[in-house]
């Protein structure tokens, strides 16, 4: 992600750096933020700015972009860096930027309610994990083939649709049929076993779930999102996931 942003920004650096800097702006926080937004929007109009606020690192501002990325700029917007902010502690390094992402991701996940997902719930639920899935993904099929292992450990699996080929693709149409089936669990299980199901259509949020996944950083499937908002890409066996969850 950082490389993609860098490729976008490099051709614009000269126009960005020659913009005039207003004297004394560092002494006025609101003015600094206003100038930051104005100058950055002139330099990178392709990427709207969603928020600007003072960073934990003295002298720098955190600038959140609509692309989901974050840059750090000085107060007069003459220089910036792309990357994550870490805190050095006696126990090691703490990625403060990723911690912020987790909070934001957890909040965005709330936009899709449980009745819009396909749930596999254990008799005794200890924790829930949201899983963005594709019915044609080999590792998604592998995860679902061992669904009972997760349930036996008290892990509820909440499936969200993420057809990797995109909206309107064959995988999209198949997963829509599962979401519209009378027995959603059975339909999804059959599809992940390579079997066919009856084609159905209904009012659903499959496209919205796909867009949500893209928005929070899902680039492949399966992708697990913990209740804390932490994103774990790829297939994680039940015993390993249980350790991550402290079960």
CA distance to 62, 82, 176, 209, per residue, from 85 (Å): 10, 10, 40, 29
SS3 137: coil
Residue-wise pLDDT tens digits, 175-218: 999 999 999 999 999 999 999 999 998 999 999 999 999 988 89
Task: Please state, in angstroms and rounded to a whole number, the distance separating the CA atoms of residues 100 and 50.
Answer: 15
Residue-wise pLDDT tens digits, 116-125: 999 999 999 9
Structure tokens at 113: 């309610």
Closest CA to 36 of 78, 85, 65: 78
- What does pTM read for this prediction? 0.73
Residue-wise pLDDT tens digits, 36-54: 777 777 777 777 777 787 8
- The domains of the chain, with CATH numbers, are 2-89 (3.10.450.70), 111-244 (3.40.30.10)
Q: Which residue's entry shows tokens 């999804």?
A: 188
Who's near 99: CB < 8 A, 6+ residues apart? Answer: none
């Amino acid at each position: 992600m950082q490389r993609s942003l860098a490729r976008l920004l490099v051709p614009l650096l000269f126009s960005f750096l020659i913009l005039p800097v207003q004297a004394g702006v560092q002494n006025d926080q609101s003015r600094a933020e206003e100038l930051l937004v104005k100058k950055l929007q002139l330099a990178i109009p392709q990427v709207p700015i969603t928020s600007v606020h003072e960073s934990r690192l003295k002298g720098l501002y955190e600038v959140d972009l609509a692309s989901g990325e974050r840059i750090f700029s000085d107060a007069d917007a003459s220089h910036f860096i792309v990357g994550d902010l870490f805190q050095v502690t006696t126990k090691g390094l703490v990625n403060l930027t990723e911690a912020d992402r987790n909070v934001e991701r957890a909040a965005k996940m709330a936009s899709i309610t449980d009745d819009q997902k396909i749930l596999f719930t254990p008799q005794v639920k200890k924790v829930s994990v949201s899983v963005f899935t594709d019915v044609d993904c080999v590792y998604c099929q592998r995860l679902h083939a061992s669904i009972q292992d997760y349930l036996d450990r008290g892990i509820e699996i909440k499936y969200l649709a993420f057809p990797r080929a995109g909206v309107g693709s064959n995988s999209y149409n198949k997963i829509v049929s599962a979401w519209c089936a009378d027995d959603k669990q059975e339909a999804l299980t059959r599809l992940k076993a390579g079997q066919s199901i009856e084609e159905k259509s209904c009012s659903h949020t499959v496209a919205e779930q796909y867009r949500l996944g893209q928005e929070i950083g899902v680039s492949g499937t399966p992708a697990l999102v913990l209740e804390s908002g932490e994103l774990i890409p790829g297939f994680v066996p039940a015993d390993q996931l249980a350790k991550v969850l402290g079960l």
